[in-house]
Amino acid sequence: MTLPYFENTGDGGRILPIAMAHRGFSREGLENSMAAFRAASGLGYRYLETDVHTTADGVLHLFHDDTLDRVTDGRGKVSELTAAQVAAARISGRERVPLFDELVTALPAVRLNLDVKDWSSVRSLAAAIERHRVHDRVLVTSFSDRRRRAVLELLTRPVAASAGLVSNALFTLLGPVLPAPMFARLMRHVLRDVQALQVPVRQGPVRVATPGFIRRAHALGLVVHVWTINSADEMRRLLDLGVDGIVTDRADLLRDVLLARGEWPAAGGRS
């Protein structure tokens, strides 16, 4: 299925690799803050990767960890705190933890890769997508296939989605060993509700983003996004292999790599 989320073209309709800013862009540790999201958008990024957690009183926030402890001056599990308590915390002592509502309205042109981190966010995320009518602007992902499917089942319109940990593992491990027709039939069932495989270059000793992996994904009409790539040489290598997107903490480096390759969207251009 072709969905608007993946339409990322340059001059003359050329399809461009998707450049995705991981938790926004900040060299100062301000991950998942409005400052980081605005910085990535200011570089020209059309796609932002972020994470969702929900507070005890049902408010959807953009935050990676279960607890506030690592990146803020606050303490405690997000799911056990109220929105008011989370609002009092500051990322690196400076920035508030943003709400989902805040990002989608402040940066209406960007598209969001949303990692659903907890079960309490299933209903709150689905409700927020419906409330803002941003079905074409979001991709829903989770390490849990069940959690991602639970969000999709609550939506009134299709949204882009990527596979979870188990589905990606099956694709990676069975691809090289099963006969191609059998593998294709199995994966069409397993991946029936996703359009993307978002994977690391390797998982432990297993190389994941290989030429064969990319070839098999494309044969099934799936796109491949690789995370989290912070080396310019590795970015170039993966793009040469034919990946469809790269997630990075170094939005500045990836932009430079794509500019040099003529694969960066023109300023003011439309996706």
What element of type H or E holds 247?
strand 245-248
**Residue 148 predicted with pLDDT over 90:** yes
Higher pLDDT, 11 or 230: 230
Would you kindly state where each structural domain of the chain is located, as residue ranges?
Answer: 4-66+98-260
What's the CA gap between 129 and 133, in Å, rounded? 6
| pLDDT score, position 132 | 98
Q: What is the pTM of this model?
A: 0.95
pLDDT score, position 12: 83
Residue 115 pLDDT greater than 50, yes or no: yes
Percent of the chain whose pLDDT exceeds 90: 95
pLDDT grade for 5, boundaries at 50, 70 and 90? very high
* 64 labelled catalytic: yes
Mean pLDDT within 87-98? 98
162 — pLDDT class (breaks 50, 70, 90): very high
Q: Which CATH architecture does the domain made up of 4-66+98-260 adopt?
A: Alpha-Beta Barrel (3.20)
Q: Which of 61, 64, 132, 225 is catalytic?
A: 64
The mean pLDDT value for 167-186 works out to 98
Predicted pLDDT at 11: 84
What mean pLDDT do residues 81-97 have? 98
Q: What is the pLDDT of residues 197-241, one digit of tens each?
A: 999 999 999 999 999 999 999 999 999 999 999 999 999 999 999
**pLDDT at position 271:** 45
Give the 3-state secondary structure of residue 72: strand
Tell me the average pLDDT across 179-202. 98
**Mean pLDDT over residues 113-138, rounded?**
98
Using CA atoms, how far apart are residues 76 and 32, in angstroms rounded to an integer? Answer: 18
22 belongs to the catalytic site: yes
Residue 269 confidence (pLDDT) above 90: no
Measured between alpha carbons, how far is 81 from 265 in angstroms, rounded to an integer? 41
> CB–CB of 36/25 below 8 Å?
yes
| Residue from 22, 53, 61, 225 carrying the catalytic annotation | 22
Residue with tokens 């397993």: 190
Q: What is the mean pLDDT of residues 114-131?
A: 98
**E-only strand ranges, 165-222:** 196-200, 202-203, 206-207
Summarize pLDDT for 55-74 with one digit per residue, the tens.
999 999 999 999 999 999 99
> For the chain, what percent of residues have pLDDT higher than 70?
98
